[in-house]
Structure formats: C-alpha cells, structure tokens
Structure 1
Amino acid sequence: MDLVNILNLGIKEIRGLLRDPIMMFLVVFSFTVQIYTSATAVIETLNRAPISVVDEDDSPVSNRIIQAFQPPYFTPPVLITQGEMDRRMDEGRDTFALDIPPGFQRDLLAGKVPEIQLNVDATRMAQAFSGSGYVQQIVAAEVNEFLNHYRSSEPPSADLVLRARYNPTLNGGWFQAIMGISDSVTLLALVLAGAALIREREHGTIEHLLVMPVTPLEIMVSKIWSMSLVVLVGTAFSLVVMCEWLLGIPVNGSLALFLLGTALHLFATASLGIFLATVAGSMPQFGILMILVLLPLQVLSGAQTPRESMPQLVQDIMLFAPNTHYVILSQSVLFRGAGLDVIWPQMIWLAGIGAALFSISLHYFRRFLK
C-alpha cells in the first residue's frame, strides 16, 4: 500500500466532491440549517399553544383564569362565542378551547363544585397531552387563590430536590441539536463514500483507475479518508460555530475526544457506504438501499428513544451497529463530560465493527472492480 497513491487519490476525491454542487449543498445544509432548525423549530415541550376561551360568566374569577394563560406556554387567549368554538377547532386555529359556564363564580362562593369544559385538539399530539395538564394546573391555582384570597401550597412532608447537571432548563432544543449532528455524521458518511464510488462508474473513470498502478485497497482507503475528513471538519464546525457560538449550547466534554470517536465511527460507516455502493448498480438503487439501512440505524440506535425501552432482542442486535456505540459515546462526552476511562468500550466496539465492515467491503470492492 503506497501512501503517496492514497494521498493523491484522496485529494482527487475531495476535488470531485467540490465540483458536485448537489453533494456540497447536502454537506453544508446538514451541518448548518438542519442543526439550527433542530434546535429551534422542533420543540417537543409546550410552546405558544393557541387557546381560546368562552367566558359565559364574565366574573372576576373568570378574568383571572383568562389572564393566567400567557407566553411562552400559550398564546394570549382569544375570547370567542359558543358557536365559534367547534368551527375554530375544525379549522385548526385553536389547540385548546376553555368554556367557563355562567354562574361559575356564584357556585364557587356557594361551596359548590362547578365544572369547566376543556376541548382539546388531540391531533396535535405534541401539545395536546402535556398542555391539558398545564391548563388544569393553571385553572386550579387561580380558583384556589380566589377562594383563599392568597396563593399558597402545603409544604410536602418530604421534598425531592432535582438538580440537572446538563441543560438545567431542560431545553429540548439542546438535545435535538447535538443528536442532529450525530445523525448528519452517519448520513453523510454513507452518502459521500457510496456516491464517490458510483460517481466513478457513472463518469467512466473507474476504468482509468484500473489501468493505473494502484491497488483496490489504495482506492478504497483513499475514498474513506477523504470523505471522512470532509464530514469530520463539518462536525467540528457545527459543534463550535452552530451549537456553541450561535445557539449557545455548551459542550461539557473534550472536543478532541469526541472527534476521535467520530473518526472511528466514520471509518465504520464509510466502509458500509462503499459496500452498499458495490451492491447497487446505480445511484437510485444506492439511495433505496441507503434508506433501508439508514432508518433502522438511526431509529434503533438510542438517539431518539432510550435503548432500555426497546425489546432485549433489538438491543442485542443493535450492539453490532456502529450507530449504537456512537450515540452512547456522543451523549457521554458532550452531555456528561465523560473521559476516555468511561467511553473506551465504545471506542473498542467502533474499531472492531469498522475493521469487520472494512474487510467485507474490501472483498466486495475487489469483485466490483473485476
């Protein structure tokens, strides 16, 4: 294996990537716009939920309830009539519609237990389930304060103090942005490595390589290191510029240690991308194969849902996927500030899986060149 050949072939791959506007757009978009939108647009917690109120009582207590719904959890309530409630919810203009019946304050002062109707658009799942609890707590707090003439709560006999070491405000955007980077790393490693090989076939340059004094091992290694370098640079840029500087998301652990783990993950995933490219006959076929492989890798890796909630069989199978160990490594380093003494098992797993995938891909790549 000639290192000079590997270096020159890798530079050729980077130049070919720079001349491909579609691939360059995908790289830039994945590490900039996608990360920003993951942190700011995809919010799982209740945020500015639209609410309307039918105030049939028009009393001081009903006004207190209406004024209690404020941003950022709710938009300022809109006062509507009974006839507008169903129409507005059918049009998707309101997620919650609160109906305060006539005589509500009179019944409260008389010691009765009046009822308030809450209509919820359950098709908006992210807001409907958590928002119903918020509405119930707000109404109960305002009613109790009105009846007792002061706001108070009985101190619990045992108090549980919660302290979040990372993300004390529990901002879901922080987690979405960091996990979005790991998803982009996997996606781009598969796409760039596989597309580099298919581009050789479609442009007819694969025959040129076969008559040159280079080996299949040198060709494959050059494609892996060049495309991995592009993704690695994008990962560092996204963490430092997009997350830390632009979004204000802190990184607790060592950036160098995280990039080392990313390099091992890229070695494994890029090898898998070349294997898929040798199986596929064209770019459309490669795209279909990549979807079939990429979706299970990302969904079952633990980035979206905890692995502990999955069936044991799925957990055992996913131990042989590089994503699983990369997600554990990323969360440990970036969220909890873990060091090499904690993540060394994931490093070994990634190196072993990468070596296995590289050997398999090299075998099929040699057959591909014949």
Structure 2
Amino acid sequence: MMRTLSNIFQLGVKELRTLLRDPAMLLLIVYAFSVSIYSSATAMPEALHRATIAIVDEDRSPASQRLIDGFQAPYFLPPVLTGHADMDEGMDKGRYTFTLDIPPGFQHDLLDGDTVTIQLNVDATQISQAFTGAGYIQEIINDEVATFLAGHDPDAASTVQAVVRMVYNPNLDPAWFGAVNEVINQITMLSIILTGAALIREREHGTIEHLLVMPVTPFEIMTAKVWSMGLVVLIASAFALRMVVEIGLQVPIAGSVTLFLFGAMLHLFATTSMGIFFGTVARSMPQLGLLIILTLIPLQMLSGGTTPRESMPAFIQDIMLAAPTTHFVMLGQSILFRGAGLPTVWPQLLTLAAIGTLFFSVALLRLRKSLG
C-alpha cells in the first residue's frame, strides 16, 4: 500500500512538473479563470421562455383563477398551486423562478375599486429569466385584471400593482450570474483538457513506454494524473472565486466556498476520468480537441448553467441526470448564490461521488486495454 501511494505521489509530481514546462497549457489556465470569466460576466440576458412559477391563491375567486390562467406557454410552464411554506422552500431550492402570492379578498377589493397588492418573488440567480420576467408578469396581471373588470364595469380602471422583491440578485446584475457560472464551466473544461492532454503528451513524447517498463500499474498512472490535474484546477478555481469574482467583479458569495470546493473535488473526480478516457481514444491533440468540443458543448448547454433545465424537453432532462455537470451546476448555484449548506446539497454530493466512481472505473478499464 505504501509503495502504491508513493508511486501515485511521485507520478503526480512528475505531471505537475511537465505542466509547468508547457507554456500553452499554463496560458490556457490563466485565460480560462480570468479573461473568460470577465467576458461571461458581461453577457446579455436571454428572453423569458418556459419559466417556472408557483402561485399561492388565498382568494380562490374567479378573478384569481383568471389571473392564474394568464400564465401560459411559451413564457411559463403551467403554474404550480402551492402554500406559503412550499413556496419559500421551493424558491430556496431553486424549483421556482417566480412565486406569486394572491391575497385574500382580491376579487372583492377589485370590484370595490380599492388598491390591491400582489407579492411577486423572483429568483434572480436565473438572470436570463428574472431580467425580463418581472415585466412580463406585471403586464399579464394588468391585462387580466383589466379584462376581468371590463366584464363587470367597463369604466373601471386597473388598481393592481405587483410589488416585486428580487431574491439573491436584487439589482439583476448579469455579472453576478455570468461570473460564477463561468467558473463552474471552466472547472469542467480544464479538467477534461488537462488530463486528456497529459496522456496524449505521454504518447507523443514516447514516455508512455518508459512507464510501462517501470514497476507501476495503470491504476497508479491514472490516479496520479487525476489528482495532479484536479489539484491544479481546484487551486485555479479557488483563486478565481476570490480574486476575479469577489474582488474584481464585486460579486458576493452567499455560501461556503469550502463546501463548494469539496463538491468541485468530487466533480473533478468524474471529469478528469472523462479526460483520461478521451486520451485513450484520441491519438493526437487535434483528435482530442474534437472529442472535447463534441462533448463539452452539450454538457455546458444542457446542464442547467446556460438555460434552466425546465426549458428543455423531458427526455433531455432525464438523459442529463447521468452527466456530472448537471449535479455540479445545481450544487454550485445552491451554495454560491443561495447560501445552501450540507443538508441541502448532500444529494448532489452523493450523486457526484457515484458518477465519478463509475467514470473512473470505465476509464481505468479503457486505459488498461490501451496500454496492453
């Protein structure tokens, strides 16, 4: 056991030294965790599409039902009727982008000509939806109320005004979402590239044959590449969160960075294994780049980081549950945006550990076959 651990450590140190002598890879790491994060932080938000909304109907009147029926596709998914407790819990866990509270006596006050206040809560971590969603909802409320009153009193004017409270991102600053989300994306991209390139580099330089005649096993070779490249990405992401996101862009981090980095470590266990697998399939760096492009774009686009998963077809949502990026995005947004702790994110941590173990086992089998 001690000899195995020593081999893994020494081989990992060799990988770190090789990386330090590769200026192209070092430049890529610096760019990915600095300039790329800044560029994504200034991205423009998207239009509202299939947003999730929960409604607490305390009035249960024809007027409130008409208002509920006004939230239709393609802007919104079917509204979820719920209570106050589930409304708050659902927003804290990211299930709802918008929650609307229709007060008791809503229809009565409308017909009496009184001013009615409706509470609208917005999860501003979903910046692409929240940026325009509040305006859409205000227009829907005004239109439905005006139509309802016109049926009772053609001369009646709309007296409803939604009081909007932005949660987690009160100024709707796209930099808050873009910067943190890009850190999550770069962790995935760099971990796959670095481990895959490390294995390709062994073949191109002829050092893989040297390793085969040494008293080391494929398990030790793979584990060394996983921990060394994963450590580089983990340190770079911690630096980016502190220096680029918090200090440079002035984006507040709500939760525990330590817990996020622990989740990132489990995520890196899976993605570095993916990099090793790609390194055994590709025979050159250009081939590796093509494989990564074909894999990375779907992982980033369909994991919930770019657009909410609720906006995707159901079968895509189910398929992407097998991808570590889906669970890492859920974990990262819950911790960094909403301040979630271990009691909230433990399912994602366990899932990442399980997916990582599976990916590591498959990549190890492929590596043994490739070296054999």
- TM, length-normalised to structure 2: 0.69
**Which of 298, 301, 304 pairs up with 1:302?**
304
Q: Which residue of 2 aligns with 1:242?
A: 244
* Partners of 1:189 and 1:355 in 2: CA distance: 16
Equivalent positions of 1:305-320 (< 5 A) are 305-320=307-322
Kindly provide the CA deviation profile for residues 111-131 of structure 1, in whole angstroms up to 9, marking residues without a partner as x: xxxxxxxxxxxxxxx9xxx8x
In 1, Cα distance between equivalents of 2:345 and 2:27? 33
Q: 1:13: which partner in 2?
A: 15
Instruction: Report the Cα distance in structure 1 between the residues aligned to 2:248 and 2:172, rounded to whole angstroms.
Output: 19
After TM superposition, list the pairs within 5 Å mapping 1:289-368 onto structure 2: 289-368=291-370
Matches within 5 A, 1:143-292: 157-292=159-294
Whole-angstrom CA distance in 2 between matches of 1:276 and 1:177? 28
CA distance in 2, matches of 1:332, 1:170: 17
Closer, same or farther: CA 45–359 of 1 in aligned 2, 3 Å: closer
- Tell me, yes or no, if the aligned pair for 1:194 and 1:274 is still in contact at 8 Å: yes
- Matched residues in 2 for 1:328 and 1:156: separation? 40
Secondary structure of 2:254's counterpart equals coil
Matched position secondary structure for 2:163: coil
Q: Deviations over 1:171-194 (max 9, x none)?
A: 111111111111100100110010
C-alpha RMSD over aligned residues: 2.1
Could you tell me how far apart the structure 2 residues matched to 1:37 and 1:357 are?
32
Give distance in 2, aligned partners of 1:187 and 1:168: 30
Separation in structure 2 between the aligned mates of residue 349 and residue 162 of structure 1, nearest angstrom: 36
Q: Is the 8 A contact 2:13 2:228 kept in 1?
A: yes
Q: Does 1:26 align with 2:23?
A: no
SS in 2 for 1:319: helix
Moved over 6 A (4+): none
| Contact 2:175–2:251 under 8 Å retained in 1 | no
Distance 1:45 1:185 in 2: 24
Cα distance between partner residues in 2 of 1:350 and 1:338: 17
Give the Å deviation of 1:45. 8.0
Q: Which residue in the other structure is 2:112 paired with?
A: none
Report the CA distance between 1:162 and its aligned residue. 2.1
- Flag the structure with larger Rg: 1
Q: After TM superposition, give the deviation of residue 158 of structure 1 in Å.
A: 3.7
C-alpha separation between the residues in 1 aligned to 2:32 and 2:370?
A: 30
Between the aligned residues of both structures, percent identity stands at 56
**What are the superposed Cα offsets for residues 315-340 of structure 1, whole Å, 9 maximum, x if unpaired?**
00000000000000011000100001
SS at match of 1:214: coil
d(CA) in 2 for partners of 1:166 and 1:207? 53
Tell me how far apart the structure 2 counterparts of residues 272 and 259 of structure 1 sit (CA, whole Å): 19
Is the CA contact 2:202–2:208 (under 8 Å) kept in the aligned structure 1? yes
Task: Name 1:111's counterpart in structure 2.
Answer: none
- Cα gap change, 1:345 to 1:364, in 2 (>3 Å): same
Distance 2:171 2:273 in 1: 39
The 2-side partners of 1:300 and 1:259 are apart by 22
Listed as ranges, the gaps of 5+ residues in structure 1 are 47-125, 138-153
C-alpha deviation, 1:156, in angstroms: 6.1
SS at match of 1:161: strand
Deviations 1:17-60 (A, max 9, x none): 110011000000000111122223x23389xxxxxxxxxxxxxx
Q: Secondary structure of the equivalent of 1:159?
A: strand
Kept after mapping to 2: 8 A contact 1:297/1:321 = yes
After superposition, the Cα gap between the structure-2 partners of 1:155 and 1:233, relative to the gap in structure 1 and judged at 3 Å, is: farther
By how many angstroms is 1:157 displaced? 3.2
Gaps of 5+ in 2: 48-127, 140-155
Conserved? CA contact 1:45–1:172, under 8 Å: no
Q: How does 1:61-76 map to 2 (within 5 A)?
A: none
Letter in 2 for 1:350: L
